[in-house]
Structure 1
């Protein structure tokens, strides 16, 4: 099992995230994942939300980690442009770059389109784009586009889903999924929905969130302060267009909802118990996202635990 560190561009600047990726490699992580936002979910954030793609190039050059980014085709990035960016990173770091494609959020994509589509249309566009990008990376040609750079090792292309319904739908046309791990029952439901359709050999990667601090009370405060807005229902996450709109809607998210979905952790033992729980899902990759401000303490704690025991 691959264990990755999540670099949250919605929370931290690119220099700090690069330093954290280097520290994660030293602590024994295998991989790093990156968000691809043009704006943060929190209106109070400043000097954050750097462009993911040049940052990924720096990480792949400075470390031996593999890297994944969740991105959206067809809005900010026309399909052939996105395929070219994927191919470039894949060629520069053979076998170390993966991409996950999602249907998108208005916060990041709406400014590049006159009309923000409904979910059914976004899902249809995602399916078409994933198919075309995969074909371009494998063969260099589709009926409409040509990719002149074909990486020696074509990168894995996954599709992202945050609900069991979407995971089940994706399973009918794709065999690699990135999804979230929050409560154990909801996580298992997403996994089962995908596996039941995709069958043997399908690949699943989980992104799991915790809040790491010196005490449970502090960890809970950090979870609410740092990651309340992204705990909105998926339909809200996709439709709200600005950080200001997220701030207003986030006021309706209860503390209990945040704590239910983000694990408060205040000791190495609790961190190990959480990883035991995640490993039991038996997936190919788990990315750990600590939403609190205490990133170095989190990475150092995982280094002390030794990640080999979960591989």
Structure 2
């Protein structure tokens, strides 16, 4: 009975020791914003030195130290948010196996939102200078960092049209108004520790306070014409009158075709059209074909007489001289068809 309080105390002390962590990861208590340093510290039990120290981010090792040291991110970014953890060994009294701390979530606050480039209005012409369009690079600081000064720069494509300055507005010259969609801006802190660029300028459609189409090329309306002025008239192209137009086709037969009064369908030769290359070739070859046919007919007659003479040479003694003369005429060039006639 007397030993029961002592035993209860020892059990309570043992339970406390089992739940204590040998390694504790300390993170900043106050909020950390973009561009500010993020410092992490891995502490051992009773501030003992931690050897073979590893720091982890999202389960991946990011830094190694031989002994106790802090892990510092000089300029934190939103990508540095997430769970952190550390591991190492301690000599109690000899070096222990690697031990791990509990995971601690770290959130890096956004200093200001991504800027947006907007059209705010038009500027009036002053003297010889032409008017233009006013652009504004808009963003919003975190409520706890409202006093943070920001600078702004403006770009056209990849070319800087105004370097970083404290002003958040820029005037586009009148000749470049038609190229507003090629502009974008950038917001940054004075030390450039945090820089964010806007998307390309997105122009709103018609009906917006600034109608870019009307500023560059105004379209006249019919109601705006003066009483004495005449509206523009458009003349239709002339219609060819070589073929009468059909006013109505009540039936599918040709008898149902009707023509306008005072006009009658004319039947005349079709309009002359230029010869196609194929037709030109046929016209060029026609004389040669005619000559060839005539020569073939002459040859046929000569061959028939030769056959008869060979069969009955005594019956045609008077044709021997004629055949020789005809053969000499047949040898004449094809270009002179008038010399190919046979004398009977």
TM-score higher than 0.5 here? no
More relative contact order in 1 or in 2 (CA 8 Å, sep 6+)? 1
Which structure: greater helix fraction? 1
TM-score bracket for this pair, using the shorter chain length: under 0.3
Larger Rg: 1 or 2?
Answer: 2
What's the TM-score once normalised by structure 1's chain length?
A: 0.19
Which structure: greater strand fraction? 2
